[in-house]
Chains A and B, each alone.
Chain A
Amino acid sequence: MMARTMNGSRAAGPLSPDLRWFLCVALLAIAPTLTGSSYMLNVGSLALAFAVLATSLNLVFGFTGLLSFAQVGFWGVGAYVAAIATADYGVSPWLAFLMGGVFTGVLAILVGIPALRVSRASFVIVSLSFTLLATLLSRSWIDVTRGPLGIPGLPAPSIALGDRVLLDGHEPLAFYCIMLGFAVLALGFMFALVRSSIGRILLATNQNEALARSQGINVKHYQLLAFSVAAAFSGMTGGLYIFHLGIVDPSIFDTYYSEMLLIIVILGGAGNFWTVIVAAFVLTAVPELLRFDPELRLVMFGAVLVTAALVLPDGFGGYLRDANLKRWRKEVRP
């Protein structure tokens, strides 16, 4: 029998497809440190944030089949929780970003229960409304969020032993390493989730909900699980990245983030774990690489996106899946 996997190609050679993809992503992650440029390291930190954010959207949209506009909402809420915890309560940034994640993880369950009651379409609307509402609150709930001016002067996550500073989060390289450590843990957890028997059930509820229910799967429970895990990681990412920006204000909910996120997941290929991560790196880097002509930058980025959408309608991951299906068809019916 031919050893084949569903997400990759023939499992020939000593490396499994997952391991090969991991090495590919590892190279991308090391690249910014080799340049030594602060600018590239900062772009790299943003790419890592997008990689975790996009993977959490991929968990909800690609694997579980729920189109969510709430990821940016959770990223922003996590950022605000972390900022308020440090600025108003003197919590260490290390603990504050985790608090942001716990808060959004629980919040997702509270939002998810009513949102999932009716249908997948109603879920899309509720998730969008959630983000809009969070944006509105960040501007108007001045007592807590300080309104449009935001909360400035946030400390950077650092490690000091007495007077000796071992790790200074203000340094681009140090912050990049912090983001990298966080990304490895977050992506590692979500990888374990999608490759476990739970991941298989998430796919099942997405591909045929009625069949899944007839087999005893409580679809809502699993949808809530995916939504909550994704929200927790989005919140943690926001909570950590905010210490790099040094200030949180309502622009954390900017449509720029939502758009980038959807572009990354759709062009990367919803439902493919690795291609979405690669897309996060490539698509964060491309606008920066196109910076040689600031006037034409966004026009060129748009052209790249349109071309990619025309050539790969289901994203890069979809292209790989179709190629795999084609090979199987040829083998079964030559």
Chain B
Amino acid sequence: MTDVHPEPMLHVSSLTKTFAGVTAVDAVSFDVRPGSIVGLIGPNGSGKSTTIDCLTGFTRPDSGSARFGGRDVTGWRPEQLAAAGMVRTFQNVRIYEGMSVTDNLVVAARSLRRFTWAEQVLKLPRITRHEAELREEALSHLRLVGIDKYAEAPAGILSYGQRKLVAFAMCLMGRPRLIILDEPLAGVNPTVIRRISGLIDTLNAEGQTFLLIEHNVDFIMRHCDKVIVLEQGRLLTEGAPEVIRSDPRVLEAYLGNYAEYAEEEETLHV
């Protein structure tokens, strides 16, 4: 992926968020270019989720700004950002448990909501037609993630891994410009990990842009064009995976405590 685009899709500039005196995100700036996969990593509590919450409108940043698709979107509400084409998944997987799997995807589609409420209640032919198209689209996404055989099942009966796949498929409805995945691999088995990895590659090859938060470093290194490392709310470093992998500061941030602990252990044994 070459950086020939004049303007990044997402431009974050000195984003800051403080909770009761603790600076969770401290002047973080980065870019996401169209068609790229950007990874956001860092130890627990380094501010990854707060950064995402600020970008997707779930938390209001104290200062700094975000531009998305050429517009200043700082302080926008989640529903506005979604309408602008930025969708996300959640760390604790969220789906609509009481609805069928297909309905989970259809409700995520933004296009049906362009019709007036009266048109929708009266179920005019154009509504029925559009809904049938959305069901078709939903089914194709479900086939892609490999859970189409549960299309009509209540989503509440699905396993954790299957729920993650439904959440992923929901993001694909209406093809958003940017998909933000918050720990897509946490708590799922190797088969689902392979499937999600494959999906990200396939979709990216078609031009889909991703921003990923993930603890699985191998996965981040294998997929990302660029990796951003946060530590204690600050941007520690950013760059190509190869560069990040060999950066001693990153190792220190991730393993610092562990290294000290290991040293202590050794001293005790001696």
Residues of A at the B interface (CB closer than 8 Å) are 1-4, 6, 189, 192-193, 196-198, 200-201, 203-204, 207-208, 210-219, 225, 271, 321, 324-325, 328-329, 332
Contact = CB atoms under 8 A, between A and B. Distances in A.
Q: Give chain A's interface secondary structure class.
A: helix
Interface in B143-174: 149-154, 156-157, 170
Contacts of B131: 197
14 contacts: A6-B154, A192-B121, A197-B107, A197-B131, A203-B96, A203-B98, A207-B99, A208-B94, A210-B58, A210-B90, A214-B58, A216-B80, A218-B79, A328-B154
B134 to A, nearest CB: 9
Interface stretch (B3-11, B33-41, B110-118, B245-253): B110-118
Interface string B66-104: 000000000001111011000110100011111110010
Nearest to A324: B154
Contacts of B56: 214
A217 B95 contact: no
Contacts of A321: 98
A215 B156 contact: no
A277 B48 CA distance: 49
Interface residues of B, number: 42
Contacts of B117: 198, 225
A325 B151 contact: no
Given A6-B154, A215-B82, 10 more contacts: A1-B151, A6-B98, A196-B121, A203-B98, A203-B107, A210-B58, A214-B78, A216-B78, A217-B113, A332-B150
B99 A204 contact: yes
Contacts of A328: 153-154, 157
Given A6-B103, A215-B87, A325-B156, A210 B94 contact: yes
B90 A211 contact: yes
Given A200-B106, A225-B117, A332 B94 contact: no
A217 B79 CA distance: 6
A207 B103 CA distance: 13
A222 B240 CA distance: 44
B260 to A, nearest CB: 38
A1 B150 CA distance: 9
B103 A200 contact: yes
Contacts, number: 105
B123 interface: yes
B120 interface: yes
B236 to A, nearest CB: 28
A211 B94 contact: yes
B122 interface: yes
A208 B96 contact: yes
A214 B103 contact: no
B127 interface: yes
Contacts of A210: 58, 78, 90, 94
A1 B153 contact: no
A214 to B, nearest CB: 5
Nearest to B78: A213
Nearest to B96: A207
A1 B152 contact: yes
A322 to B, nearest CB: 10
B108 interface: yes
A217 B109 CA distance: 10
Which 6 residue pairs spanning A and B have beta carbons closest together? A216-B82, A211-B94, A213-B78, A216-B83, A207-B96, A215-B108
A1 B56 CA distance: 38
Contacts of A198: 117, 120-121
A201 B107 contact: yes
A215 B152 contact: no
B110 A215 contact: yes
Given A4-B152, A325-B154, A216 B110 contact: yes
Contacts of A271: 98
B77 A213 contact: yes
Nearest to A193: B121
Contact of A214 (B87, B107, B121, B153): B87
Contacts of B150: 332
A332 B157 CA distance: 8
A287 B150 CA distance: 45
A108 to B, nearest CB: 15
A215 B56 CA distance: 11
A208 B151 contact: no
Contacts of B152: 1-4
Interface in B10-65: 56-58
Interface string B118-130: 0011110001000
A196 B98 CA distance: 16
Given A196-B121, A215-B108, A216-B110, A332 B153 contact: yes
Contacts of B170: 215
A192 B123 contact: yes
Contacts of A197: 106-107, 112-113, 120, 127, 131
Contacts of B58: 210, 213-214
A220 to B, nearest CB: 9
Nearest to B98: A207
A217 to B, nearest CB: 6
A104 to B, nearest CB: 19
A329 to B, nearest CB: 5
A321 B117 CA distance: 28
